[in-house]
Structure 1
Amino acid sequence: MRNFLDAKILAFQLLSPLHVGSHIEKYTPFEYFIHKEEIYFINENKLFSFLKERNLLSKYISEINIHGPKFNIFNFLKENLRDINAQLLKNISRYKAKIETDKNFLEIRPLIRDGMGVPYIPASTIKGLIRTAVLYKVLKSLKERAPQQFKTEILEKIKNFSKKDIKKREPFKWLINKWLQDFQIENKKNSPHTDWLRLIRVRDAYPVFSCTTRIYEIAVLSYNGSRWLEKENISIFLECIPPGSIYQFEISMDTMLIEKFKVSPKLKRVEDAYPRKIEEIFKALEEFSNDLCEEEQKVFTSCPSLKQWYKQTRSKESFCLGWGGGLLSKTIFLLLPEEVRKFIRNNLRHDRGEALAPKSRHIAKLKQKILPLGWAKWVHNGETIIKTSGYKIILNFQGDKFKLIKK
């Protein structure tokens, strides 16, 4: 493996369901069928070949024309074939997922997958997490060292943005431009060419071992001023990578480019807050994640199960990525006073007046508990992943990737 300052291969394990959206917005009943608590996503070419071999293609098309949106593929197969079994369904599908809900559903939001159908986590998702953590650390340093400057240059300017600009997320773009792109290199300055994120390269994250994805019901908890209540009739159903899954990726830092990057005079006060080593990136991420867990632990005082979950998670090397984390996990919202949070929320989304900002959270409803979305923790070479009375499964780094070995 290359020098630590140059590159590092890391692994993390999911603590809660993770969803990263696909270019396919949703699947409808025309595109899947359900059998014995599993959902099979159709491969149209395989399905058409199968139906053609059994002289059912014309009938299939006719039934679709008759029933329209109410057409059910599984019922059609059941009525026209003697036997429906898992192998048959597998032969006409791209992949399957397990269903982790008792609720009926029609539409499903699928996970992103690569060309081979493997659910992965794009490098852009990981870099987005790092960007937020580094920006948070820099501005938190400014807030602690120069509170008046933070108030003048951050809070007051945010409050001067128009509603139209806030809807376009201009305050967040402005913060990135001013605090992550205001460097100088050669003849270039204050542009994407001088973005701090140019210093790092991240590869897509792939599973250490294959696992079946899950379909979860995602509900919304809303705070009514005294307690958290689930909103009715607004559940969505997501395909997620389940808790326990382990992913790995490579991150590298361009140490030569670091030496060429020069901070502008405006950033001198917080120059030392910008990471110059890979390990410093993860210290920033740890600080951001711990503050996020602490905030959620306080907010969920009236929801003991989530309060306890965040309390336990804060003690781990944890972080949050993917869909469902909201403004708290994707922006510097934690650094803003309540009045500024409300100002942004009321103009960015729905005007909730003086209600808590943010007022709602997405949660995954498992059969025995509820969980926030997208939380994970770092796992390390030699760490025990599973332990029983007879054996244990250990994470082992071999060559250039992690593997699970049984001892």
Structure 2
Amino acid sequence: MVVSPEFALKKPDFYQSKRIQLTSPILHIGSSVSRLNPFEYVQTDKKVYLPNQEALAKALIKQGGRFLDDYIQAIEERQDIRRLLKQAFGFEWWNATNTDGYPIFPKEAISQKLTSENITDLRPMIRNGMGQLFIPGSSIKGAIRTAIAYHLLKHSDRYQVPSSKRVSEIEKTLRQKLGQINQYQHKFLDDELFMDSLFSEFSLTYQDRNFPGKGPNTDFLRALKITDSEPLIESKIKTKKGQEIPVNIPVVAEVIVSSRFPDYLAKYKASIYAEMVRNVQTEFTLTLDTEMLSWFKHKQGMKLPFSNLDELLQICQEFTQEQWDYEHDYWEEVKNNPRASGKNLDFNHIREFYEPEKSPYSQRLGWGSGMTGTTINLLLDDELREDIRDTCGLKAPGFEAPKSRRTVMNPNGEIKFVPGWVKFRNNEL
């Protein structure tokens, strides 16, 4: 398809780029597969292995006998395949290769097991086309979009946000619509209420010509490009003092889902086992086409909230601080419960994590960020937030929204980590 010269927009040369170093204590970005079946991973006391299914099938065929038939049966019955692997490849089955010499258990698909519990319903982390763990640029951009929406609505007067899209009107409409829409409509309600207006109700003015419309082409975040992160490859880095520190450590950890009783005593809800990365250190690139950004004019006169990358990163920091303050207050109120359904719910390490008044982090990504990190809910009335949760999710009348939290246990069985918090450091291009 050839674009008519009349509508072809020449991309300008003027843009800003920042190479950002991203670090995080622990992180999980979900994949298209929410859970793995038992035959899709193999666990030992210390490690969890994700086999290359094609390589495994070829190797079993080479072994002959009933190995392939037994493997197919294990799949159908959702069985653990460890015994089959020992029979086919010996006690060091994790070193086996197929007929082409490819490892059945690639290095990038092996994680340290941080729990002594038997892993069930393993939740994998997203991988790139090479099978390597990474952080998609779309995940970072999605979090940035939420931060911008939050910023615009919080400072409506400053940016001349249309009166029909301000928080008071959003709350009024939500109260009217809750209970009248189905589960599918819930997912897109924020687009109708405010997101489309804040981001897409723009016209483009280029070389004194106006290009009207509504949709992806008039979304002002077209001017912002975010690359995927570099692969999260396990390695070691040297500190300024010459010490070697391991980074990008793939792990499978026990994630504690907890809430509270009415007296604020911690309540154990469930354990989830997830593939995560510890001591994350990677890089990605932010690129802002500042001239393209200047083409966008909001149809109702709303001002754009940033004109350069420094202002954009400050918006992210502001939103992160709001989340940090909210989480700090939550954990200050929740009481430890050493006898919660067989779990010692001791959250002292979590309270220590949230001790700094100023958030040391730049954003919260992926799993664990919850309603506060993926919506503008912290701007809404507390009671309305609860009604939204009770309508769209699991009901918990009389409790704050969100009610539950996810924390991560270390190998010693201590609740030690909070997933998703990331730091940005500018590595100028």
* TM-score, with length taken from structure 1: 0.82
Change in CA separation of 1:289 and 1:191 when aligned onto 2, cut-off 3 Å? same
Q: 1:76 aligns with which of 69, 79, 84?
A: 84
Equivalent runs, 1:214-363 vs 2, <5 Å? 214-227=251-264, 229-232=266-269, 234-242=270-278, 244-265=279-300, 267=302, 271=303, 274-303=305-334, 304-312=348-356, 314-363=358-407
Contact 1:166 1:344 in 2 (8 A): no
Deviates more, 1:40-49 or 1:332-341: 40-49
Equivalent runs, 1:110-189 vs 2, <5 Å? 110-142=124-156, 150=166, 152-165=168-181, 167=183, 168-174=186-192, 175-185=194-204, 186-189=210-213
Q: Extract unaligned runs of 5+ from structure 2.
A: 1-12, 205-209, 235-247, 335-347
* Partner SS for 1:258: helix
Offset, 1:114: 1.1
Offset, 1:212: 3.9
Offset, 1:280: 0.8
Contact 1:178 1:190 in 2 (8 A): no
Amino acid at match of 1:22: S
Contact 1:161 1:171 in 2 (8 A): no
1:91 aligns with 2:103: yes
* Partner SS for 2:28: coil
Partners of 1:288 and 1:108 in 2: CA distance: 31
Deviates more, 1:317-326 or 1:117-126: 317-326
Amino acid at match of 2:392: L
1:195 aligns with 2:219: yes
Change in CA separation of 1:60 and 1:230 when aligned onto 2, cut-off 3 Å? farther
1:13 aligns with 2:23: yes
Number of aligned residues: 373
* Partner SS for 2:263: coil
Partners of 1:326 and 1:98 in 2: CA distance: 26
Partner in structure 1 of residue 241 of structure 2: none
Partner in structure 1 of residue 39 of structure 2: 30
Offset, 1:153: 2.3
Partners of 1:66 and 1:311 in 2: CA distance: 49
Same amino acid, percent of matched pairs: 25
Offset, 1:171: 3.4
Offset, 1:143: 7.3
Amino acid at match of 1:101: T
* Partner SS for 2:132: coil
Partners of 2:14 and 2:354 in 1: CA distance: 31
Amino acid at match of 1:345: R
Contact 1:165 1:171 in 2 (8 A): no
Partners of 1:292 and 1:48 in 2: CA distance: 47
Change in CA separation of 1:30 and 1:148 when aligned onto 2, cut-off 3 Å? closer
Q: RMSD of the TM alignment (CA)?
A: 2.9
* Partner SS for 1:312: coil
Offset, 1:97: 1.0
* Partner SS for 2:134: coil
Contact 2:257 2:405 in 1 (8 A): yes
* Partner SS for 2:266: strand
* TM-score, with length taken from structure 2: 0.78
